[in-house]
Structure 1
Amino acid sequence: MKLFTVLRYLWAFPNTAIGLLLLPPALVSGGTVKRIRGVLEISGRVPAWVLERIPFAGTPAALTLGHVVLGCSEEDLQRWRSHELIHVRQYERWGPFFIPAYVFSSLSARLKGKDGYLANRFEAEAFLRQRDVT
């Protein structure tokens, strides 16, 4: 592994650690874990339960935490993979500041009367660039 790659993983690790907390309960409850492009994808009942409790306007099908992507199902992970990989790259750029920056972007959009998800700068970038990831 190249030094730059190691540094990207370390910079994003505080967020990755949050996602890794769901690995044991997901496995014990019959969930699945796959490593795709250096990212752990975790799906099953436990990730779905967590995603159902995230304060969005509806349940997200997938969510990225550093180098961990949680999904309600393997199908959801496959469908949203290119979008979530953009978020992985954003975590590599922003590191431990990603989650506060993401929340700030959503709150800022809402204060301007816009949708807190679609007008979030990180989501806008992911929707714009997801076609570039194959």
Structure 2
Amino acid sequence: MPNAIQMAAYLWASPYTIIGIAIGLILGGRFQRVDGVIEIHGPRIAWLLRRMIVPAQALTFGHVVFGQNQAALASTRLHERVHVRQYERWGPLFVPMYLLFSAILFLRGRDGYRENPFEIEAYDAEESE
């Protein structure tokens, strides 16, 4: 049973979680729950992830992680769980802040993805494991 702090974190991130679940249902994804996070994969999700501006193996929305397939979800789990915790900290502000950091970096001629502080934190967690 989640404690009050965990419940608050789920609630704070819930706008994006709800959007993620809706997208997964619309795209006919396969759902699984792993450590309190909903992981969704399927052919339509894989197709979209491959065609993003920065193609991705996985993408996080609140407590939902989309993956191209189960192998991609497993291999990116550590990285994507960092993003889940970031959604828990930032809640509805996460996406605007992520995009703001990316835009500022891009306008300065830098890598808006790899130099984004949110991605740096996620990649650092992968490397320390």
**TM-score over 0.5 for the alignment?**
yes
Return 5+ residue gaps in structure 1 as ranges: none
Distance across 1 between alignment mates of 2:18 and 2:31:
15
Distance across 1 between alignment mates of 2:90 and 2:60:
13
Size of the aligned set, in residue pairs, is 128
Equivalent position of 1:39 in the other structure: 37
Task: Name the CA shift for 1:71/1:123 in 2 (closer, same or farther; >3 Å).
Answer: same
Match of 2:53 among 52, 55, 58: 55
Distance across 1 between alignment mates of 2:103 and 2:120:
15
CA deviations on 1:68-118 (whole Å, 9 max, x unpaired) are 000111111111000000000000000000000000111111112111110
Residue 98 of structure 2 is aligned to residue 102 of structure 1? yes
Give the alignment's TM-score, normalised by structure 1: 0.88
RMSD: 1.5
Equivalent position of 2:119 in the other structure: 123
Distance across 1 between alignment mates of 2:95 and 2:24:
20
Give the alignment's TM-score, normalised by structure 2: 0.91
Distance across 2 between alignment mates of 1:131 and 1:39:
22
Return 5+ residue gaps in structure 2 as ranges: none
SS state at 2:110 partner: coil
CA deviations on 1:34-69 (whole Å, 9 max, x unpaired) are 11110000011121133234322xx11100000000
